Chain A
Amino acid sequence: MAVAEPPIVEIVGLAKSYRRGDQVVPVLQDINLSMTRGEFVALMGPSGSGKSTLLNLIAGIDTPDRGRLAIEGVDITGLSEGELARWRAEHVGFIFQFYNLMPVLSAFENVELPLLLTRLDRRRRREHVQLVLELVGLADRADHYPSQLSGGQQQRVAIARALVSDPTIIVADEPTGDLDRQSAREILDLMESLNERLAKTIIMVTHDHLAAERAHVVRHLDKGVLTDRIERPRARATG
């Protein structure tokens, strides 16, 4: 049925280079990529190939030199800093390798952060936060501070934070890169279930093959160029 659905991420001819001294270092060259709603894409490639750079561009925390980058049909390359910030608040959920929780805020308060930028009142915010904390299995740790949580738990708080404002797309940069195997598996299970049960659109950078296996599509980036595309069937057997 959903054959003609427009892409949620549409990237055409995207390029990005950095200046190092008076040398221009091309990082991404002519990237073309599109994602549909509910898709889970893994981005792989050697270190320094530009994975984070591409993810940052999609997430609107970095700007390309050239090309089209549209999310839900809106080209974000033309937005100003302030417009981008507001756009991110509404459309992007971030999951980082090092969790990036605020150490002075409790799990609850960390998850609440994105909602402070919305018009929701206190009571509604509390409901939302409790809901996502339950979803990630940390309802009983709401009052804990990051330093009182394990790495896996911290990452789950971060996932709750990425989820709480119901963003259009979730970007994850090596979300299991700092975790032991067991915790990594739990995080991947969680992300997979977000995708399958809540139909979240996820793009995840990883260089762990086990992680990439969870995605529908695996794209490889090498020296700034997207190479092969591996697709796996969308409906996976659960349980």
Chain B
Amino acid sequence: MAWFLARLVLRNCFRHPLRTALTALGIIVAITAFGLLRTTVDAWYAGAEASSASRLVVRNKNSLMFPLPLYYRNRIEQLEGVKSVSYADWFGGIYIDRKNFFPQFAVEPLSYFPMYPEFVVPPEQMKAFQLDRRGAIVGRKTAEKYGWKVGDQIPLIGTVFAGNWSFVLRGIYHGADARTDESQFFFHWDNLNETVKRILPDKANQVGIFLVALEDPSTAPALSKQIDGMFANSRAETLSETEKAFQLSFVAMTEAILLVIQVVSFLIIVIIMAVMANTMAMTARERRREYATLKAIGFEDHHVVALIAGESLLISLAGGAIGIWLLYPLAAWVGHRFATIFPIFIVSDRTPLAAAAMAALIGVVAACAPAWRAATLKVADGFRALG
């Protein structure tokens, strides 16, 4: 019987090939869009996801725009539980054109990279970088995008730090895994500081943030308090938090947008649900006489319900499967196309599961009304002309 019902469901699907195809197409588009929007939200959080809870970011309490004195480094380093301290400045230069965006940081070359093992640099390149004050290291994606080779001169126009800058590319890093941002550009903080000393002497020896590696992640709250306490009532008070919290504070600014994206992704599902429910209702209405015939012969309500639910689920799950299958190349393309906005644009493991659940939900919801109507259909009424 199960075999028979399955065969009948399959054949029913192909009775109106165009209708079935269009419905499936709608589901494919909806599921792909759902997955893509979810991936977009994930991409927004990706920076925070990848960041560590065992590192602290120390910044100026008033604003990220205000720097901190370099000498804080020694004081922080002396605290119990601190493994190492590094520091960095946001550079924000322009490569030829404003639209060529990639993140650029002036970093302390010896301490910075050991703190970020996810940036994998060949040892000889790392050595060359450390030895060259004008040297720079860039992520694989950015290097590929602009066709840079090790040894190339990279000109940047400063915005925060005005002037024409030139760096020599000494290394290209790869991400340790797919979630590592491979778009960043690093150069010597000393290089930056020298110029600042010359043109803005009173801004010299100041850094944007300190990065603090901890012996034990569980001490993060205590050490944050300790650091901030140490510099309380000074000219530059600090705000310390885990790197994750620091990254999330950027995401928080766009939380409203993310919420809208999430709402839209579910609205798409609701819309296709309504479309599919309408299609199934129409289909079931056309087959009313057939359901009545089956019931007259002795088939029971659950058989008829299985026919309708089976057809609805078959279409929605097939559409869902194709949608999920399309999601991967599409996400790869979006990730490539918008690499500057979303350095990490990867379909998470949960997304196909959520998308499949949505596809199943569409199928079940769409089948509800027509299945109910077919189950409660009085056989004798089924043979009467539609009133």
A→B interface (CB under 8 Å): 52-53, 56, 59, 61-62, 81-82, 85-86, 88-90, 92, 94, 96, 98, 100, 102-105, 113-114, 116-117, 161
Q: How far is the CB of A53 from chain B (nearest CB, A)?
A: 8
B380 touches A61 (CB 8 A): yes
Interface centre among B4, B15, B299, B379 (most CB of A within 10 A): B379
B→A interface (CB under 8 Å): 1, 4, 8, 11-12, 15, 289-290, 292-301, 378-380, 383
Q: How far is the CB of A209 from chain B (nearest CB, A)?
A: 24
Contact of B383 among A81, A88, A96, A102 (CB under 8 A): A96
Give Cα A52–Cα B380 distance, bound, in whole angstroms: 9
Contact of A82 among B292, B293, B300 (CB under 8 A): B300
B298 touches A114 (CB 8 A): yes
Chain B contacts for A85, CB-based, 8 A? 295, 298-300
Given A100-B289, A104-B11, A104-B15, A114-B380 contact (CB < 8 Å): no
Given A56-B379, A113-B299: 15 more A-B contacts, CB < 8 Å: A81-B301, A85-B300, A90-B298, A94-B296, A94-B297, A100-B289, A100-B292, A103-B15, A104-B11, A104-B12, A105-B8, A113-B297, A114-B297, A117-B299, A161-B297
A-B CB contact pairs (8 Å), 22 listed = A53-B380, A56-B380, A61-B378, A82-B300, A85-B298, A85-B299, A88-B297, A89-B298, A89-B299, A96-B383, A100-B290, A102-B8, A102-B294, A103-B15, A103-B290, A104-B12, A105-B8, A105-B11, A117-B1, A117-B297, A117-B299, A161-B297
Give Cα A117–Cα B303 distance, bound, in whole angstroms: 11
B298 touches A86 (CB 8 A): yes
Give Cα A183–Cα B200 distance, bound, in whole angstroms: 106
Provide the main secondary structure of the chain B interface. Answer: helix
Which 7 pairs from chain A and chain B are nearest by CB? Answer: A89-B298, A61-B379, A104-B11, A62-B380, A100-B293, A56-B380, A88-B298
Chain A contacts for B1, CB-based, 8 A? 116-117
Chain A contacts for B290, CB-based, 8 A? 100, 102-103
Give Cα A183–Cα B8 distance, bound, in whole angstroms: 30
Q: Which single residue of chain B is at the shortest CB-CB distance from A173?
A: B383
Q: Which single residue of chain B is at the shortest CB-CB distance from A53?
A: B380
Q: How far is the CB of A239 from chain B (nearest CB, A)?
A: 34
Give Cα A100–Cα B294 distance, bound, in whole angstroms: 9
Give Cα A105–Cα B9 distance, bound, in whole angstroms: 11
Q: How far is the CB of A61 from chain B (nearest CB, A)?
A: 4
Give Cα A59–Cα B379 distance, bound, in whole angstroms: 11
Give Cα A92–Cα B379 distance, bound, in whole angstroms: 14
Chain B contacts for A96, CB-based, 8 A? 293, 383
B294 touches A113 (CB 8 A): yes
B297 touches A89 (CB 8 A): yes
Interface centre among A85, A88, A96 (most CB of B within 10 A): A85
Q: How far is the CB of A94 from chain B (nearest CB, A)?
A: 5
Given A102-B293, A104-B8, A117-B298 contact (CB < 8 Å): yes
Chain A contacts for B11, CB-based, 8 A? 104-105
Chain B contacts for A53, CB-based, 8 A? 380
Q: Which single residue of chain A is at the shortest CB-CB distance from B375?
A: A81
Chain B contacts for A98, CB-based, 8 A? 289
B295 touches A116 (CB 8 A): no
Interface centre among A62, A86, A105, A116 (most CB of B within 10 A): A116
A62 touches B379 (CB 8 A): yes
Given A104-B11, A104-B15, A105-B8, A59-B298 contact (CB < 8 Å): no
Give Cα A61–Cα B11 distance, bound, in whole angstroms: 27
